[in-house]
């Protein structure tokens, strides 16, 4: 009986060590070769590179949303609609157009569900305009903004950011212009994200 208790103690200690194990560089995250300037000012910037039609992004979405609701005051989450091919570009236009119209947060879940649950075809401007119109967005305002210079500039910038940060898949997270998280499950990603935010916070304060 004593031996069995010792086994349980050892197993419990192993489980605790795994839970609190520090994320490993090269395994759980990478350090970018060139640190990039962020646009969040004094805040620690977290970028999520995503695509609405990406099943992994869809799985990450609820976990990241729950995390965002508890976000620290010195952290800012920024979504970056990613464009790996021409077929992905309409959704980048959609994201930034809805953002301009103040409707992005309201329709964020609906767009994920349209792609991953309801299998709705949102492959071009006409289909997208019809979809957002049925969800309370002014069709004319959406259409006027969709191909505007302002939106095209944001889409171009999105492409540039993916190249600058070497994004190879979605979802990918960038922390403070320096750290890359990619290829992990939702819970693991958040664990590493919190760790790297803490690391970035110490680095900013000069504590290592």
pLDDT at residue 4, as a whole number: 54
Q: Is 96 exposed, middle or buried (0-12, 13-18, 19+ CB in 10 A)?
A: buried
How far apart CA 172 and CA 82 sit, in angstroms, is 10
Give all strands of the β-sheet with 30-31 in edge-to-edge order: 30-31, 179-182, 172-175, 44-50, 75-81
Q: How far is CA 115 from CA 25, 26, 54, in A?
A: 34, 32, 8
From residue 177, give the alpha-carbon distance in Å to each of 35, 45, 47. Answer: 6, 7, 8
Burial of 7 (0-12, 13-18, 19+ CB in 10 A): exposed
pTM of the predicted structure, to 2 decimals: 0.88
Quote the pLDDT of residue 40. Answer: 76
Q: Please give the average pLDDT of every successive group of 10 residues along the chain, which has 208 residues.
A: 50 47 94 91 95 98 97 96 97 98 98 98 97 98 97 97 96 98 97 97 81
Q: What is the pLDDT of residue 16?
A: 42
Q: State residue 123 phi and psi, 5-degree precision.
A: -90, -10
Three-class HEC string of 147-192: CCHHHHHHHHHHHHHHHHCCCCCCCEEEECCCEEEECCCHHHHHHH
Q: Is the bond preceding 178 in cis, omega lying within 30 degrees of 0?
A: no
Domain 28-205 CATH class label: alpha beta
Model pLDDT, residue 39: 86
- The pLDDT score that the predictor gives to residue 13 is 43
In contact, 173 and 181? CB cutoff 8 Å: yes
User: What separation, in Å, do the N-terminal and C-terminal C-alpha atoms of the chain show?
Assistant: 46
């Amino acid at each position: 009986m004593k031996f069995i208790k010792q086994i349980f103690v050892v197993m419990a200690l192993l489980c605790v060590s795994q839970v609190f194990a520090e994320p490993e560089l090269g395994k759980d995250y990478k350090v970018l070769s060139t640190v990039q300037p962020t646009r969040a000012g004094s805040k620690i910037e977290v970028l999520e590179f995503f695509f609405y039609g990406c099943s992994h992004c869809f799985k990450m979405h609820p976990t990241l949303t729950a995390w965002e609701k508890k976000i620290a005051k010195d952290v800012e989450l920024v979504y970056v609609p990613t464009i790996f091919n021409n077929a992905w570009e309409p959704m980048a236009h959609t994201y930034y157009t809805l953002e301009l119209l103040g409707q992005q947060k309201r329709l964020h879940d609906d767009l994920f569900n349209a792609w991953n649950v309801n299998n709705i075809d949102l492959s071009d401007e006409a289909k997208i305009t019809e979809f957002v119109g049925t969800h309370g967005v002014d069709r004319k305002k959406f259409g006027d903004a969709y191909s505007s210079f302002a939106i095209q500039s944001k889409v171009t910038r999105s492409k540039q950011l993916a190249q600058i940060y070497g994004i190879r898949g979605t979802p990918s997270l960038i922390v403070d212009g320096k750290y890359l998280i990619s290829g992990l499950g939702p819970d693991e990603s958040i664990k590493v994200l919190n760790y790297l935010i803490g690391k970035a916070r110490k680095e900013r304060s000069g504590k290592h």
